[in-house]
Chain A
Amino acid sequence: MTQLPPPSSVKLGLVIDLDTCVGCHACVVSCKGWNTENYGAPLADEDPYGADPVGTFLNRVHSYEIQPDEGAAQLVHFPKSCLHCEDAPCVTVCPTGASYKRAEDGIVLVNESDCIGCGLCAWACPYGAREMDVAEKVMKKCTLCVDRIYNENLPEEDRVPACVRTCPAGARHFGDLGDPDSDVSQLVAERGGLDLMPEQGTKPVNKYLPPRPRDKAPEYDILAPYLEPVTDTPKGFVGWLDRALSALPGGE
């Protein structure tokens, strides 16, 4: 199924709130845990206790510094996993059909038993969302927890990706971005959700909510009335206290 299926009306994906992500890596590790035990081969680690540990992770949290023209530098934590692109170049380059995009919900998956481990799909992905497993030598990527989201062995509320369920700050949202009325689509609309590397033409399904403007506290001028002095001296304060207290309910 290397060719892309016709665009599905259901487009499942993640919305990641960069205003809220505290960079705790919880999503990284729960993803590692879930996908080690579930879908396909375990996510292996080479030299796990040595000089150069290298493991497969399907989700990684970067951090960036932004220096605005004026004011203090800012820091943004930036989780990144597969964006389940509509025009997924990783799928079309795959020679074996191991990489495919599901026709029904747009999830991009690797059928590991067909994968020859050529790595080409990882080359084609501009986002670095695919990693060749060090032990199994097959391509690994975010499955959008396809083995959770429809899983009837899980309680309804748990049918979300592992990373979404675990995110302590609630910075990760899962839903149907093909439905303009879904919670995630609404969130994207309200908060100006954006695509990563739109110029690459991949049409990512996942969206990122930009950080809200920082260091934009109301200037003191606006707040000054709140600090209008009632006094300048301790003595004046006691005088004010008398007046203020009598104004309280029960005051004379």
Chain B
Amino acid sequence: MHPAPSVIIFTSLSGLGFGLLFWLGLGVLAPTGWVAFVFFVIAYLLAVGGLLASTFHLGHPERALKAFTQWRSSWLSREAWASVAALIVMALYGAGLVFFGTRIALLGWIGALLSIGTVLTTSMIYAQIRAVPRWHHWSTPAMFLSFSLAGGALLAGEIMIALPLLAIAGTIQVYTWIDGDSRLARSGTDIASATGLGTTGTVRAFEPPHTGTNYLLREFVHVIGRKHSRNLRVIALASGFGVPILLMLLPFSHMLAALAVLFHLAGLFASRWLFFAEAEHVVGLYYGKR
């Protein structure tokens, strides 16, 4: 899949933002006043910024409201609902903390649920796509959720929570790579089933339908070198999880915490880039590509 910057930024940042909101809502940390304000601003910048980024890849952002209509079947529509609901509920909850210094726990719990629910809906947008076997798996929501929770905790400065969650998220990440690498092959979809021509012999794509490129190739076929991908994985794992864990094991300092967050973010971007770039859409089979 084409690793579109807008989608990478959106999923990464909004995941972090909603993760932070989750922890805030849960009351694991219950700052008030200015401190709360700063936390909420950060969370909202990430979550809303991410959402805004996602509208960049819409052809007709002016019609975005229509995306709320199909919640019965569409995860994208559900995401729209969940995110708006989460943002509203958490806004109320945050207002309580910032302006009134009170924590309305029920509102927080609902907001937390909606926040993490938003991340789930986002992940389900990908996980539901059967045409991308690498994504079409429980590990996709598991990864999104664990990343969001770990990143949120990291942002919240909840080291004791962040440490194990980062470890778990890192593990899930490694699992998705290893298992994901063979999912296309295991999916049962190959050039033979794509063309129905497999019974006669080995099928090979000969001439593509057009010598030039097209929307499908630009959107779905992204070839990245094996070596390149291995290096990036190391970077994503080290930067996203290894380094932050190490940094947090050192005696606490705000500098280190900020550094941990930055490393995590860089790793997260790398991971997301790989999430898209390495995902093989089965349509590539028609072009003899992956």
In-complex A–B contact (CB below 8 Å): yes
**Which residues of A pack against B, CB within 8 Å?**
2-4, 18, 28, 52-57, 60-69, 73-76, 78, 80, 89, 92-98, 114-120, 122-128, 131-132, 134, 136-138, 194-201, 208, 210-211, 213-214
Residues of A within 8 A of B283 (CB): 125-128
Given contacts A56-B215, A137-B59, contact A196 B200 (CB under 8 A): no
Q: How far is the CA of A33 from the CA of B281 in the complex (A)?
A: 29
0 or 1 for each of B92-107: is its CB under 8 Å from A? (1 = yes): 0000000000000000
Cross-interface CB contact of B67 among A62, A89, A116, A132, cutoff 8 Å:
A116
A33 shortest CB reach to chain B, Å = 16
Q: Is the interface of B mostly helix, strand, loop or mixed?
A: loop
CB within 8 Å of A: which B55-112 residues = 57-61, 63-64, 66-70, 72-77, 80
Chain B residue with the shortest CB-CB distance to A140: B215
0 or 1 for each of B149-191: is its CB under 8 Å from A? (1 = yes): 0000000000000000000000000000000000000011101
Contact A199 B189 (CB under 8 A): yes
Q: How far is the CA of A59 from the CA of B202 in the complex (A)?
A: 25
> B237 an interface residue at 8 Å Cβ cutoff?
no
Residues of B within 8 A of A28 (CB): 209
Question: Which of B20-28, B38-46, B126-134 contacts the other chain?
Answer: B126-134
Contact A3 B59 (CB under 8 A): no
Q: How far is the CA of A94 from the CA of B128 in the complex (A)?
A: 12
Contact B132 A123 (CB under 8 A): yes
Contact B66 A197 (CB under 8 A): no
Residues of A within 8 A of B193 (CB): 196-199
Q: How far is the CA of A194 from the CA of B199 in the complex (A)?
A: 12
Q: How far is the CA of A132 from the CA of B144 in the complex (A)?
A: 28
30 contacting pairs across A/B (C-beta < 8 A): A2-B73, A3-B72, A28-B209, A60-B214, A64-B203, A65-B203, A66-B197, A66-B200, A66-B202, A68-B201, A69-B201, A78-B195, A92-B73, A92-B74, A93-B73, A93-B128, A95-B70, A95-B77, A96-B67, A122-B215, A126-B189, A131-B216, A134-B215, A137-B59, A196-B193, A196-B196, A198-B193, A200-B131, A200-B189, A200-B282
> B208 an interface residue at 8 Å Cβ cutoff?
yes
Contact A118 B67 (CB under 8 A): yes
Residues of A within 8 A of B286 (CB): 62, 80, 127-128
Contact A116 B63 (CB under 8 A): yes
Q: How far is the CA of A194 from the CA of B192 in the complex (A)?
A: 12
Q: How far is the CA of A108 from the CA of B194 in the complex (A)?
A: 20
Residues of B within 8 A of A122 (CB): 215-216, 219-220
A179 shortest CB reach to chain B, Å = 23
> B125 an interface residue at 8 Å Cβ cutoff?
yes
Contact B76 A123 (CB under 8 A): no
Residues of B within 8 A of A55 (CB): 214
Q: How far is the CA of A3 from the CA of B69 in the complex (A)?
A: 11
Given contacts A54-B215, A116-B61, A197-B189, contact A65 B204 (CB under 8 A): yes
> B231 an interface residue at 8 Å Cβ cutoff?
no
Contact B187 A119 (CB under 8 A): no
Residues of B within 8 A of A2 (CB): 69-70, 72-74, 77
Cross-interface CB contact of A54 among B74, B187, B212, cutoff 8 Å:
B212
A31 shortest CB reach to chain B, Å = 12
CB within 8 Å of A: which B10-25 residues = none
Cross-interface CB contact of B196 among A54, A208, A213, cutoff 8 Å:
A208
Cross-interface CB contact of A131 among B68, B128, B197, B214, cutoff 8 Å:
B214
> B205 an interface residue at 8 Å Cβ cutoff?
yes
Contact A53 B212 (CB under 8 A): yes
B131 shortest CB reach to chain A, Å = 4
Q: Given known contacts A57-B210, A69-B201, A95-B76, what 14 new A-B pairs fall within 8 Å (CB)?
A: A2-B74, A3-B72, A60-B214, A62-B209, A63-B206, A65-B203, A89-B130, A93-B75, A93-B128, A96-B63, A117-B58, A132-B59, A196-B194, A200-B189
Chain A residue with the shortest CB-CB distance to B195: A64
A115 shortest CB reach to chain B, Å = 7
B92 shortest CB reach to chain A, Å = 26
A38 shortest CB reach to chain B, Å = 20
Given contacts A69-B201, A92-B74, contact A97 B66 (CB under 8 A): yes
Given contacts A3-B72, A119-B219, A200-B282, contact A98 B66 (CB under 8 A): yes
Chain A residue with the shortest CB-CB distance to B54: A118
Q: How far is the CA of A120 from the CA of B215 in the complex (A)?
A: 13
Contact B200 A128 (CB under 8 A): no
Residues of A within 8 A of B253 (CB): none
Contact A62 B212 (CB under 8 A): no
Q: How far is the CA of A172 from the CA of B58 in the complex (A)?
A: 35
Residues of B within 8 A of A66 (CB): 197, 200-204
Contact B59 A117 (CB under 8 A): yes
Contact A126 B131 (CB under 8 A): yes
Residues of B within 8 A of A195 (CB): 196
